[in-house]
Every structure is written in C-alpha cells, then in structure tokens.
Amino acid sequence: MILDSISKPSDLKQLNINQLKELCAELRSEIIRITTKNGGHLGSNLGAIELIVAIHYVFDIEADRLIFDVGHQAYAHKLLTGRRELMENLRTENGASGFPDPEESEYDHFIAGHASTSISASLGMAKARDLDGETYKVISFLGDGSLSGGMVYEAMNNVAGTKNFIVILNDNQMSISESVGAMKLYLAKLLASRGGLSVRRLISKSLTFLPKKISRKIENCVKAIIQGNNIFEEFGFQYVGVLDGHDLEKLIKIFTNIRDVATYKPVLVHAITQKGKGYAEAERDATKMHGVDKSKKNKYSDVFGKTIVQLAENDKKIICITAAMKTGTGLSEFSEKFPDRFFDVGIAEGHAVTFAAGLAKQGYKPFVCIYSTFLQRAFDQIYHDVVLQNLPVRFIVDKAGFPGADGKTHAGLYDVSMLQNFPQFIIMAPSGQMELENMLKFASDYDKAPISIRFPKAEATDVYPPSIFELKSRVIAEGETALIISVGDMLKTALEAVAISGKSPTIIDARVVQPFDFETFYKYAENHDKILFIEEGVLGGLSNVIAEKLFADKKQYLLKKIQFFNASKFHPSHTARNTQLAKAGMSATDIAKNL
C-alpha cells in the first residue's frame, strides 16, 4: 500500500498524481475498515478524503496550521500524520480520539469536538502569527453544516485584510442529517451558477488588452450579473468555487494557485463533496451512515423519540426543536409525523433556546432536544430568555454523563451544575424506560417553570418497577447501617454494588435533582451511619446543593457521614462508559467496597 510509505505530510510530495489517487482509494478502504470495527464517524470522512489529500500535498502542513471545524471529518488527516497505529484502535482506550486533539499530535493545532469554531480560532492564530512576524498559512476546514452556526459569521466579520488565511468549505449539503436554513439554499444557488464560470473566463481572456484594474472591474460586473453578490466576498474573501471536491487533480491545481493568492488577501474555497463517497450504503443513506454505532440496545433517546410522538398525537401544542441532532436525539419519527411542529435550527444552540422561549411565551410546549455538552453553548439564553421569565421550556438533555467513545469533547458532566444555579428550574433524571416515559408526561403537562430531563448514552432498562411519578425521591429498599442515594441511571450501578457486597443498605432513587427531596433524605440520613451519594456529573451539582442545605439547616454534622461518588473535575478520555466510571472511582465495585 502507498499508505505504508506515509508517516508525515511531506511524504505525499514524493507521489505523482496517479499515486495520490491510489492513496485516496486506500484511505477510503482503511476508514471503512476501522469504523466498521470500532465504530465512529464514517460518511463525513469518506467525503473529505480528496480535499484533505490535496491540502496535505500542496501546503506545508508541518509548518502551516490546519484547523478543523466539526473535527469528526479528520480521519484521513490522522492517517496521513503518523497515527495509523493509533487509528487501529480508534475511539478506544489508548487509541486515537475521534476528534483532533493537540495532546495526541503536533499536527492537531486546536481541539474540535464542536462546530462553527474554526474561523475564530484560526483568525486568532493568524493575528498571533502576524504579531510574531511569521508567514505560515492558517487553513480552516469547514464541513457538515458548520455554516449554520452563528459564530462563523461573527468570525468572518473580522477576517477582511488577513493574509495567508484560507478557508476550505467542504459542502456536502449535510450536517448529521440534511442541512437546513437559508445558507443551505444560498450554497445551492452558488452551485447552480457554476455554469457561468466559463463565460467569466472567456470575458477575462478577452480583456487582456485593458489595464488589469479595469478588466477586473468589468469581470466583477459580469460575475455579479451571472451569480449575484457573493456573501463571502462581502466579508472580504477572494471566493473560489464551486469546485468538484473529488476531482483531485483540479483541487491540487486550484490549491497551488490560492497558496499564492492568499499572500495578499484571505481566500475561501467552496467545494462540493458527497458524504459517504465510495461506500454504497453510505451514499444511499448519508444520515444513517453518518456514524457507525455498534450498539443496538434500546437507548434513552429511542424511548424519548417514541414517547414524544405518542404525547404529540394527543397534544397539538407540543413542539420539538433540535440543533442539527434530529437522529441523535431520537426525533426522526416525530419529524416525519409532525413536520409542522418540528424545527431543526442547525448548529445554533443559543437560537434554539430563545426560539423555544418565544414559543412558550405564546402558550406552546417546546421541547428543546440537545446533547448535554452542546447545551452549555446556550447558557446565556437559558438564563436571560427562559429563566428570567420563568417560561416552561422543556429541555431534553441527551448524552448527559460520561461520553464513552466520544471522549472529553462530548463529556455531559456539567449540565446539573449549570442548571441548578436557577432555583425554579426543575431537573429530573430517570433510572429507566418507564421513569422517562412518566417524566415526559409530567413535563408535557407542567407549565409553571422550565424543566430538564437528563439521561446518558446508555440502555434504558427498568431495574426497578416505577411508581406514579411525583416531584419526590422514591425509596427502593429499606435497610440498616448504610444509605445509598443514586441519581438517575446510576441506580443500576447502586443495585449492582449491593449485589456484589452482600449488604442490605437503604436505597433511595433521587429521580428529581431539583427540587431535591430533603424530607425523605433527612428521614433516613439521621438513622444511618454511612451515606453514599452517587451522581454522574462533576462535584458541584446535587452534592453542592446538599452541602449548602445542610449548613443552612444546621445539620452539617451529617456531612461527616456522606461520601460523594462523582466525576470530580477531570476530562474523560475516549473509552467505554463503564471504564470511565471506574476511572472516576464510581464503578459498582468501588461502591461495594465502601458499603
């Protein structure tokens, strides 16, 4: 394999065009093999291969800075930068992360688990470079719906005049699902105007007898007539497009030209690619094959998706909103059955929250469905637009807790600490399928305050028969000496710990994190010698609420009995969720030892 001879980007410069094309084919096969074995993001990486190979061939990647936007499209980059062995164990312990990570490689210059960030980061690096008197190029690689996030435009507003600054727009008309919004239509318009390129070239060649400044003005006028005003050029870019992102030979020629153009103005290259290119199943269904998930279990997001459809059939006020995560949050069926009540706002979490606040103000029942780690991006909107008006927006906080193979960029460990700052905010955590169903019914009927329901990326199994739901904890078992208080899905771990230990502790399922049921807690805490508190989040969530309340009630002596099991403050590496629990000292074995 040609790939066997590649250990660093400069190795590509020894290859001819036919060898580079063969390298693309090998990368495609390798990515399919690795993701089929380990799971991971498939479709986006297959579509980006020719662009990434051309970038590594033309530019000096050992000196230039390549920054990814939505870093799950960087697998080919990793394979070309000495990480082939690490990629063999992609998204597993001691293997490669599914996202760029500066701790993993000198060729990863910025962490990229979220979207719409690369131009801001790249612009910061470019300005620092200029201040240092250096001239290396900074390249942003956008894709998978990055242009639906407002941060991109905030950054582009400051780009004008920046030299040696290049943006590669990998336009596959997709995020995880099909891209949405006006920018999608605008990019399609640019694609439709591609036929005008030959006319513009002809006019340009015909005006060679005129001074360059005058001929350029005439060419721009013709371009405006054919294509209209170009938003990227209004931001100060030299726009190049629309290109075939799989035509390697042409990409190399264009990149070679813009390498020189970029020395005097910023350049944006617009290339069309096919998500899932070269893999028939991924080409047929780009949404389904965005990522390979080896787990076929009944997850919490699946339960949510089925239940919200049932509730919406009887309640026309229910609205579902997601930020480019329709499939991941279980909303595919809802979007098909109730298209007029489903809104995918793109990668715009802040807008999603304030949009929901507007709906709630008008008497509707919005459910904002966002992963825990992405909800953090909307903290200000949650506070200013929802909490200050006490609007009944329902937040479905998916992937809350340890992130598993997605690793630290997707750690959902902070949402409770974030939301418990707001006293009226109800925070719930189901321990299984039926508890989640009951909580969703409660949330759909509750209109007195905002609500969040958080659950992990895990199987939704009922380990204990649910009772009628109310805003109280429930007592699972009564015992002696030790008291276990578990939050949400951690009830499974608590029951497993009890089975290992052979003890008979009292077990309380704290299904409502806020307002916490202190009445039940005090009833049992006073009569037990040891209290084990298990929470899948960082120290500072419910544990902090309990500590503050004990001091306020002059019961701080109870703190001597309590042992908190939580994620503390560390960034979990990409490995199995159970391994992450063990590393945090939160496994069933860890808890059993303390019983």
Catalogue the active-site residues. Answer: 275, 349, 377
DSSP strand pairing (165-171 vs 267-272):
parallel
Query: Cβ distance 481 to 529 under 8 Å?
Result: yes
Q: At what angle do helices 196-206 and 212-227 cross, to 10 degrees?
A: 160
Could you tell me if 398 and 371 are in contact, meaning their C-beta atoms sit under 8 angstroms apart? yes
Using an 8 Å Cβ cutoff, are 258 and 168 in contact?
no
Find where tokens 């606040």 sit: 357
Please provide residue 432's backbone torsions phi and psi, each rounded to the nearest 5 degrees. -175, -175
Task: Round to whole Å and give the CA distance between 96 and 99.
Answer: 8
The 10 Å Cβ neighbour count of residue 60 is: 13
Indicate left, alpha or beta for 385 from its phi (over 0: left) and psi (-120 to 50: alpha).
alpha
Contacts (Cβ under 8 Å, ≥6 apart) of 244: 250, 251, 271, 272
What are the tokens at 210?
């005129």
DSSP 488-526: TTHHHHHHHHHHHHT---EEEE--EEES--HHHHHHHHT
d(CA 231, CA 550) in angstroms, rounded, equals 57
- What contacts 545, CB < 8 A, 6 or more positions away? 420, 513, 514, 516
Structure tokens belonging to residue 369: 């469905």
- Going by C-beta distance under 8 Å and a sequence separation of 6 or more, which residues neighbour residue 352? 321, 322, 323, 345, 368, 370, 378
The angle formed by the CA atoms of residues 586, 589 and 595, to the nearest 5 degrees, is 90
* Strand locations in 419-473 (E): 426-428, 451-454
User: Which tokens sit at 164?
Assistant: 């040696």
Q: Which residue has the tokens 């019961």?
A: 555
Q: Do 279 and 408 form a contact (C-beta atoms < 8 A)?
A: no
> How many Å apart are CA 591 and CA 461, to the nearest integer?
21
Helix or strand or coil: residue 320? strand
Pairing of strands 318-322, 291-292: unpaired
Residue partners of 246: CB distance under 8 A and separation at least 6: 50, 273, 274, 277
How large is the greatest C-alpha to C-alpha distance in the chain, in angstroms?
96
Q: How far, in Å, CA of 84 to CA of 301, rounded?
A: 33
3-state secondary structure of 353: helix
3-state secondary structure 137-152: CEEEEEECCHHHCCHH
CB atoms within 10 A of CB 85: 9
Tokens in use for 194?
Answer: 């591609």
